[in-house]
Structure 1
Amino acid sequence: MTLHLDGVEYAVNAGESVLDTLLRHGVELPNACRRGVCQACLLRSLDQPPRLADAQRGLRDTLRQQGFFMACQCPAEPELNLASPQSAELFQPALVIHSEALSASVHCIRLQPEQALPHQAGQFLNLRRADGLVRSYSIASVPALEPYIELHVQRRQGGAMSQWLADGLQVGQSIEIAGPNGNCFYLPGRAQQSLLMIATGTGAAPLLGIARSALLSGHAGNIHFYHGSSSEAGFYCRAQLLALAAQHDKVHVHFCISGEAAPAPCESGRALDIALRQHPELSGFRVFLCGAPEMVNSAKKMAYLHGAAMQDIYADPFENRDLRQIARP
C-alpha cells in the first residue's frame, strides 16, 4: 500500500493512520493533539473525500467540500493522492499588540488578526511558528467587549512554544493563526439555568470569558466558579474573578487549594471535589470544564453521574470521552 503527498510516494504499514505513515517517513507534518480536535494536521484529498467520517468531523463545511481531512483520524488507505494545504487556506497572520506576564508562570498575549475572525470566548486557536510548530490556546477575551483576541499561555518547563511565546514573540511581530475551533462556549437561552464552572491553571481564562459572555447575554441564573490550584500563587486572575463577583450578585467564586494549607477565604481541597460536595445534584445545570486533562476527564464523568445532561457538559475539547458508555446509578 502507498500514499502520495505532493507527488512523493510513501509506503504504508497496515493499520497506520495517514499521520503515522508520514511521521514514520520523516515528513514534518504539523500535529498537536492527535485526537482529531485541534485540526493542526489537515491535509487535502485530491481524488475524493476520505472514507472515515471521523476524519472530517468538526471541520467547516467549506473545508469538507474541498476535501480537507485530519490526517491523525484517517486510515492510510491504498493509493491516497494528497496535497499539503496552502497557508492562506487555513492560516492568517495576526499582529501581536500586547504581551505581558500575568504571573511568574502565566503570560498574556493579545492578537489582532489581519482579517475578521468571528469567534466565541472559550473556543481555541492554533498558533503556528515559522518553523511549523503548532500549539492550541483557548480564547479568554469576549469579542463583543474587546477588539482583540486574548490568550493566556502557561509557561511549561522545556515547552518550545510556551517559552517562545512568552520570551521570544514581541509586540509588533506577527504569528500565524488558524481557527477558531471548539464547541465549549456559551449559547444564549435558558437564562435562569445555573452554571457550574470548574477550572485548573489557565483553564480559568476561557471559563472567565464564558462567564462574561453569559452575563453580557443577560444570563440571570447563578454562576458558580471554582478555580483550583496546588498553591495560592496559581490564582493569577483572582482580581478579575473577584471583580466579576462584586459586580454581579449571581456570581459566586471559589478558590480551591489542593497542595498546601488554604488561607481564608480560600478552601482546602481539589476544586472538583469541593464543587460536587457543594452541588451534589446537577440536574438542570450547565457545566463548563477546562484545565488539566485528568481533572477534565474525571469532572465530565462525575458531573454526568451527579445528574448533568450530556448535552449540558461543555469541556476542554482536547479530552473527549463518550459518557454514554458510563452507567448512571
Structure 2
Amino acid sequence: MPELRAAGQVVTVAAAANLLDSLLDSGIKVPYSCRAGSCHACIVRCVAGELQDNQPQALDAQSRAQGWRLACQCQVMGDLSVELYDPSKQATRAAISACDWLSAEVLRLRLIPEKPVVYRAGQHALLWSAQGVARPYSFASVPDVDPWLEFHIDCRHSGAFSDAARLLSVGESLHVGVVSGGELRYEPDWQERPLILLAAGTGLAPLYAVLRDALQHNHQAKIRLIHSAHDAQALYLREPLQTLAANTPQLEVQHVSAAELPAALAQLRLVPRQTLALICGKPGNVELFARSLYMAGVPRNQTFSDLFLPHAQ
C-alpha cells in the first residue's frame, strides 16, 4: 500500500485512493469547496511520487510544471509526497479598503493587494480568511480600470467563509490566491456582436466586470443584461447599472425576481444569429438560462457559462 507524506506526517493509504480524502482522513487540514476541480481550493504541490490526475486541464501549464495539482481530482498510485498550499507564502496579502453591504445579504469587499494580481474580467480567485478557509469568488472589478480588487460575498446562508466575512472591517487583510477560470470574458473582436448577459444572485459579479470591460473596448452592438434573485430585495447594483444604461444607448438592463424571471426569459425570442451569451449562477439557474437561450436561437457554442457550485460535504 502506498505511503503518503504531507505536513510532517507519513500515512499508509489504499492504492488509487482519492488524494483529498486521504489527506482529510489522516487529519491533515486541507481546504476544499466544490470537489469538482473548479474552485481550486484543494491545490497541493506534488513533490515526489506517483499520482493519477483525472483533470489535468484544470490547471495551466506553468502551475502543472511546478508540481501543483488539485487534490480532489487525483488518485494516489504509489508512494507520494505533497506540499500543502501556504497562502502566507504563495498567495498575495491584500488589505480591505471598503467593506459594505450591497443588499441585506450581499457583502462587497474591495481589496488593495500588496503586489499586482494579474487577472481578466470574468475570472475568479481564491480568497483566504484569517482562519485558513479558502473559497472561490469572481472578480467584480476590471483590471487597469479599478484600483482595487472587488468581490461580492453571498451571505444569505451560513458558511465558514461568509460567516467570517460578516465580521470583517476596513484595515484587516485577506490573502488572494490562485486566479483561475475564464469562460466568462470579453474578446475585442466581439464589438459588432450582440451580447446577452444572464446572472442569478452574485453571478452578477463577473458579468458586471465583463460588461464594463466590453464598454471599455468600445462595444458597438446591443448588450442586454438580466439580473435575477430570489426576491426583489436581493437584487443589487440597481442604481449604478441603471445609470450606466441611461448613458449607454446600446445597453438594456433588467432586474427581476424569481417570480418574474420566466416572463423575462420568454422575451428572448428570435435573437440575431451572431448573438453571444454569457451566463452565471448556481447550476439550476444556469441550466434554465442555457435552455431558454437555445430555444431563442442562440447556438450552444455561442453560450459561455460559469457555475457557482455549492460547498461539497
Which TM-score applies when normalising by structure 2? 0.89
Aligned to 1:132: 132
Q: Secondary structure at the match of 1:295?
A: helix
2: CA distance, partners of 1:98 / 1:147: 12
Asked whether the equivalents of residues 282 and 303 of structure 1 are also in contact (C-alpha less than 8 Å), the reply is no
Q: 1:8 to 1:227 in 2, by over 3 A?
A: same
Q: Which residue of 2 aligns with 1:227?
A: 227
Pairwise CA RMSD: 2.2
Residue of structure 1 equivalent to 2:79: 79
Aligned length in residues = 307
Does the 8 Å contact 2:52/2:76 carry over to 1?
no
Residue 105 of structure 1 contacts residue 155 of structure 1 at CA under 8 Å; is this kept in 2? Answer: yes
| 2:173 counterpart residue number | 174
Query: Secondary structure, in 3 states, of the residue corresponding to 1:77?
Result: strand
Contact residue 241 and residue 253 of structure 1 kept, 8 A: yes
Q: Which amino acid in the other structure matches residue 278 of structure 2?
A: F
Given the alignment, which residue of 315, 321, 329 partners 2:305?
Answer: 315
| Contact preservation (8 Å) 2:93, 2:113 | yes
Write out aligned runs for 1:272-283 (5 A): 274-275=264-265, 277-281=267-271, 283=273
Correspondence for 1:19: 20
Please give the alpha-carbon distance, in whole angstroms, between the structure 1 residues aligned to 2:113 and 2:88: 13
Shift in Å, 1:276: 5.0
Q: After TM superposition, list the pairs within 5 Å mapping 1:52-63 onto structure 2.
A: 52=53, 54=55, 56-63=56-63
Deviation at 1:193, TM superposition (A): 0.5
8 Å CA contact 1:48, 1:67 repeated in 2: no
> What secondary structure is seen at the aligned counterpart in 2 of 1:316?
strand
Deviation at 1:158, TM superposition (A): 2.0
Q: Show CA shifts across 1:123-170 (max 9, x none).
A: 11111122211111111111232110111111133223113213x211
Q: Does the C-alpha gap of structure 1 residues 82 and 171 become closer, same or farther in structure 2, counting only changes over 3 Å?
A: same
Once the two structures are superposed, residues 180-212 of structure 1 have per-residue CA deviations (whole angstroms, 9 ceiling, x without a partner) of 211122121131101111111121122111111
Check conservation: 2:281, 2:307, Cα contact below 8 A: no
Provide the C-alpha distance between the structure 2 equivalents of 1:301 and 1:163, rounded to a whole number of angstroms: 34
Deviation at 1:219?
0.9
Structure 1 window deviating more from structure 2 (302-311 vs 237-246): it is: 302-311
Q: 5+ unaligned residues in a row in structure 2: which ranges?
A: none
Matched, 1:217 2:209: no
Q: What TM-score comes out, normalization by structure 1 length? A: 0.85
The answer (yes or no) to whether the contact 2:88–2:175 under 8 Å persists in 1 is no
**How many Å apart are 1:229 and its aligned residue?**
2.1
Report the AA paired with residue 192 of structure 1. E
Q: Which amino acid in the other structure matches residue 129 of structure 2?
A: R
CA contact (8 A) 1:285 1:312 kept: yes
**3-state SS of the aligned residue for 2:44?**
strand
- In the alignment, structure 1 segments of 5+ residues that lack a partner are 260-267, 320-329
In 1: Cα distance, 2:21 partner to 2:295 partner: 36
Q: Distance in 1 between matches of 2:133 and 2:35?
A: 14
**RCO (CA 8 Å, sep 6+): is it higher in 1 or 2?**
2
Distance 2:144 2:238 in 1: 22
CA distance in 2, matches of 1:21, 1:274: 47
Structure 2 CA distance for partners of 1:242 and 1:70, relative to 1, 3 Å: same
